């Protein structure tokens, strides 16, 4: 910031110096160019107007007669009368101020011979009127000396005002100069014009100075302020970029670690297949896959939140199942450390509520998981209670307290920011994306609540999440989940359908094996193919009740295959086709529906969602429900 201030100070000084130099240069230019402007205007006036007038006047004058008239000064001389009239007429025809002819009497005294002024004018000089020419324009005297036409180099200040004059000698037959013809122009108009222009330039210069000062003191101040803001934003961008770089580095670890376990354990399971050790490896593979899935889901959730889409899907759920599922997962993690799990669960929480149970479970598991991650010994306490806020709604509160490392006071404001983790250096070995808390807070706020944190560095933290849920029946949950037993998950199917025929399309053979295995409990007739083209041929030769179609496939992808099947018309237009996709970003569901699919199922396939899809799209008359 200090460097920025110095830089802006230098910019201000340079700008002021530029204004000063520019104004001085402009004023110097005006001062130096004014004489040149006057001289240029004088030359133009003489060349364009003065010399032609002198040429015409000289035609009227005979040099010998002029010499004789200077001796007689006879006003009745026909030559005088005729030439005087012609001078007057010529003067009236032109824009000159004065037109006259003079002859020398002495070195300093000349007398007028002809004058183009009106005889009744005060400025008229009669024949023989003497004139002291000592202060005349030097060009007047050069004419006598050089016997050639001369003109004023500059405007000459006389008793008649500023004049621009030109002169032409009168020569007799011997070539001697006997007089001079003079023409004067009023220079004051030219002076006034040039002065007006210069005055405007001075005014513009003054305006420029004022504008420059305004720019200097106001605009540059604003630029300085904006520069400070830009620097601040730049630092924030750099911090965000650094945080995202750290995030990507963590992601590399978070994703590659469970993948390594999946691949390695798969190889070991292959070697030990059929033994108890092999079963242990398979369980490890599933747990590593679940860890990887959690990481991917957090990234996808963050992407949805950044795009402004926070999906909340409300449906009835059992409160005991919510608590049971969360505690089942957390007990596995907490068993690895010397930690006590303390439960404080209100038995009067309604047994059944309406909301997005998967999102509530996501928030709860995140808070419990963080408590376990950041606590090496001591306890993790989970409190769960509710407060009735209307006849059909309740404010749920889930508080997770731990005896872990705690959070420094200066890090508390950053706890819920994306891509950041408190005390990064100290916690560098702890797994996590740095997205969980921000996603959890966003979800709580989407459900009418929030998350707050209290912490004492070195002693532990308390995260409290709230959310509003709907309630139809206020029957209490009871004390059934205080210490739920751990149970292994078994394949589950809500019905069987031996008469239903299903086609599964996927270009990866391993995915087809997984699909067949998950569909096996439903006792369906499952046919599998590995391309969209094969699926298109097969549906035309056999009747299918349902098609699971992979999205991304070479040659003909799932969308192209679906459009081709719909184009067959007839019953194919109504055949249920479900998209199988790993792309679950916001808006993809609408895209599938717009392209002819009836529904979509995300990969990896989850048993409850598969069961829901099958119940929805397998013909009802072919479903046989279990007791």
Q: What is the mean pLDDT of residues 425-451?
A: 73
257 confidence band (pLDDT: 50, 70, 90): very low
Inter-CA distances, 117 with 51, 89, 183, Å: 19, 10, 12
Query: What would the mean pLDDT of 161-188 be, rounded to a whole number?
Result: 87
Q: CA 249 to CA 258: how far, in whole Å?
A: 15
Strand partners, 355: 315
- 10 Å Cβ neighbour count for 537? 10
Please report the pLDDT score of residue 247 as a whole number.
58
Both tokens of residue 205? 């210069």
594 or 225: which carries more pLDDT confidence? 594
250 pLDDT tier (thresholds 50, 70, 90): low
Tell me which range, 175-189, 219-233, 255-269, 276-290, is most confidently predicted by mean pLDDT: 175-189
Using CA atoms of 127, 128, 130, 131 in order, give the dihedral in degrees to the nearest 10: 50
Local structure of 134: helix, strand or coil: coil
301-319 pLDDT, tens digit per residue, is 555 555 556 677 888 888 8
φ and ψ of 78, to 5 deg? -55, -35
DSSP 395: E
- Higher pLDDT: 231 or 34? It is 231
- What is the per-residue pLDDT for 249? 46
Q: Provide the 3-class DSSP secondary structure of residue 365.
A: helix
pTM reported for the whole predicted model: 0.42
| Helix or strand holding residue 236 (H, E) | helix 220-271
Least confident of 93-107, 161-175, 180-194: 180-194
Q: What is the three-class DSSP state of 603?
A: coil
> Which residue, among 416, 312, 325, has the nearest Cα to 355 in the 3D structure?
312
C-beta separation of 102 from 136 below 8 A: no
Stronger pLDDT, 27 or 171, i.e. the higher one: 171
Contact 533, 562 (CB under 8 A): no
H/E element, 614:
helix 607-617
Facing residues of 526 across strands? Answer: 502
171's tokens:
């020569």
Percent share of the chain, pLDDT over 70: 69
* Model pLDDT, residue 484: 46
Which of the residue ranges 61-75, 182-196, 220-234, 326-340 has the most confident prediction, judged by mean pLDDT? 61-75
Look at 221 and 277; give whichever has higher pLDDT.
221
**pLDDT of 376 over the 70 cut:** yes
Predicted confidence (pLDDT) at residue 220 exceeds the cutoff of 90:
no
**Cα–Cα distances in Å, from 582 out to 120, 312, 550, 551, 585?**
113, 20, 9, 8, 9
- C-alpha–C-alpha distance, residues 311 and 203, integer Å: 67
pLDDT in tens, 258-288: 554 565 555 555 555 655 555 555 655 665 5
Mean pLDDT score of the chain, rounded to an integer? 79
- Nearest Cα residue to 50 out of 193, 169, 185: 185
Q: Residue 337 pLDDT more than 70? A: yes
The residues with which 504 forms a beta bridge, in sequence order, are 528, 548
Confidence of residue 489 (pLDDT cuts 50, 70, 90): very low
**Residue 86 corresponds to which tokens in the numbers above?**
């012609």
The enclosing H or E element of 189 equals: helix 188-214
- Cα separation, 347 vs 342, whole angstroms: 15
CA distance 295 to 435: 9
pLDDT band at 34 (very low <50, low <70, confident <90, very high): low
- 272-301 as b/e: b if 16+ CB within 10 A: eeeeeebeebbebbeebbebbebbbebebb
Helix, strand or coil, per DSSP, at residue 168: strand
Residue 296 pLDDT greater than 90, yes or no? no
* Segment 498-505 mean pLDDT: 95
Q: What is the DSSP string of 136-157?
A: S-HHHHHHHHHSS-EE-SS-EE
State the CB neighbour count (10 A cutoff) for residue 389: 11
Give the ranges where 101-187 is alpha helix by DSSP (H). 138-146
CA torsion angle 579 580 586 589 (round to 10): 10
Q: How far is CA 126 from CA 58, 111, 346, 404, in A?
A: 19, 9, 132, 123
* Of 502, 503, 604, 506, the residue nearest 554 (C-alpha): 506
pLDDT reported for residue 284? 53
CB contact set of 476 (below 8 Å; sequence gap of 6+) = 347, 348, 349, 350, 351
What is the bridge-based pairing of β-strands 161-171 and 156-158?
Answer: antiparallel
CA distance linking residue 216 with residue 416, whole number of Å: 43
Report pLDDT digits (tens) over 101-141.
Answer: 999 988 889 999 999 998 888 889 999 999 988 888 888 88
Q: What is the DSSP letter of 176?
A: -
Structure tokens at 202: 């001075």
pLDDT score for 470: 94
DSSP code of residue 350? B
Helix (H) or strand (E) holding 380: strand 378-390
| pLDDT for residue 488 | 39
Average pLDDT over residues 536-556: 90
Give the count of beta carbons closer than 10 Å to the beta carbon of residue 123.
10
> Angle 307-308-311 (CA atoms, 0-180°, nearest 5)?
105
Residue 426 has pLDDT above 50, yes or no: no
Please name the residue ranges forming H helices in 419-529. Answer: 436-446, 509-519
φ, ψ dihedrals at 98, nearest 5°: -140, 145
Which of 446-455, 490-499, 605-614 is predicted with the least confidence, judged by mean pLDDT? 490-499
Task: Identify the helix (H) or strand (E) that includes residue 468.
Answer: strand 460-470
Q: Are 397 and 387 in contact (CB under 8 A)?
A: yes
Range scoring the smallest mean pLDDT among 3-7, 91-95, 473-477, 561-565: 3-7
Q: Is the pLDDT of residue 75 over 80?
A: yes
Sequence-distant (6+) residues with CB within 8 A of 195 are none
| Bridge partners for 170 per DSSP | 179
């Amino acid at each position: 910031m200090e460097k920025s201030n110095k830089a802006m100070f230098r910019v201000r000084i340079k700008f002021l110096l530029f204004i000063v130099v520019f104004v001085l240069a402009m004023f110097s230019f005006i001062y130096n160019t004014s004489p040149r402007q006057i001289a240029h205007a004088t030359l133009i006036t003489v060349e364009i107007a003065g010399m032609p007038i002198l040429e015409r006047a000289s035609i009227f004058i005979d040099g010998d007669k002029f010499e004789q008239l200077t001796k007689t000064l006879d006003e009745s001389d026909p030559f005088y009368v005729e030439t005087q009239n012609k001078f007057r007429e010529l003067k009236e025809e032109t824009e000159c101020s004065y037109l006259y002819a003079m002859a020398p009497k002495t070195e300093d005294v000349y007398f007028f011979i002809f004058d183009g002024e009106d005889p009744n004018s005060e400025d008229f000089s009669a024949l023989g009127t003497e004139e002291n020419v000592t202060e005349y324009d030097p060009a007047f005297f050069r004419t006598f000396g050089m016997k050639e036409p001369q003109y004023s180099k500059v405007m000459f200040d006389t008793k008649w005002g500023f004049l621009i004059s030109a002169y032409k000698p009168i020569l007799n037959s011997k070539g001697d100069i006997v007089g001079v013809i003079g023409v004067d122009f009023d220079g004051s108009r030219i002076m006034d014009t040039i002065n007006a222009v210069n005055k405007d330039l001075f005014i513009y210069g003054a305006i420029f100075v004022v504008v420059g000062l305004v720019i200097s003191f106001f605009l540059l101040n604003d630029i300085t302020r904006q520069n400070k803001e830009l620097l601040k934003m730049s630092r924030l961008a750099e911090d965000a970029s650094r945080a995202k770089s750290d995030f990507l580095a963590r992601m590399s670890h978070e994703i590659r670690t469970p993948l390594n376990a999946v691949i390695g354990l798969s190889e070991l399971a292959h070697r030990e297949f059929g033994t108890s050790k092999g079963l242990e490896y398979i369980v490890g593979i599933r747990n590593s896959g679940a860890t990887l899935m959690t990481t991917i889901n957090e990234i996808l959730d963050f992407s949805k939140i950044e795009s402004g889409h926070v999906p909340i899907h409300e449906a009835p759920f059992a409160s005991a199942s919510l608590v049971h599922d969360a505690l089942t997962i957390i007990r596995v993690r907490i068993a690895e450390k010397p930690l006590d799990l303390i439960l404080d669960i209100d038995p009067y929480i309604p047994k059944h509520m309406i909301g997005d149970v998967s999102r509530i479970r996501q928030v709860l598991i995140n808070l419990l998981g963080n408590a376990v991650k950041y606590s090496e010994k001591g306890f993790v306490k989970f409190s769960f209670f509710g407060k009735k806020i209307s006849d059909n709604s309740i404010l749920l509160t889930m508080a997770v307290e731990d005896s872990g490392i705690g959070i420094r006071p200066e890090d508390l404001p950053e706890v819920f920011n994306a891509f950041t983790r408190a005390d990064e250096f100290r916690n560098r070995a702890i797994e996590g994306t740095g997205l969980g808390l921000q996603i959890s807070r966003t979800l709580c706020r989407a459900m009418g609540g929030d998350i707050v944190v209290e912490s004492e560095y070195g002693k532990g933290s308390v995260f409290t999440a709230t959310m509003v849920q709907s309630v139809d029946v206020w029957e209490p949950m009871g004390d059934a989940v205080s210490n739920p037993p751990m149970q292994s998950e078994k394949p589950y199917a809500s019905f069987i359908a031996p008469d239903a025929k299903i086609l599964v399309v996927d270009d990866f053979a391993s995915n087809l094996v997984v699909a067949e295995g998950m569909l096996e409990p439903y006792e369906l007739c499952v046919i599998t193919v590995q391309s969209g083209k094969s699926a298109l041929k097969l549906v035309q030769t056999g009747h299918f009740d349902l098609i699971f179609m992979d999205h991304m496939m070479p040659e003909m992808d799932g969308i192209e295959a679906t459009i081709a099947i719909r184009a067959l018309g007839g019953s194919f237009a109504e055949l249920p086709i479900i998209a199988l996709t790993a792309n679950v970003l916001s808006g993809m569901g609408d895209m599938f529906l717009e392209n002819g699919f009836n529904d979509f199922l995300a990969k990896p396939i989850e048993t409850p969602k598969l069961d829901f899809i099958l119940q929805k799209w397998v013909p009802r008359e072919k479903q046989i429900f279990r007791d």
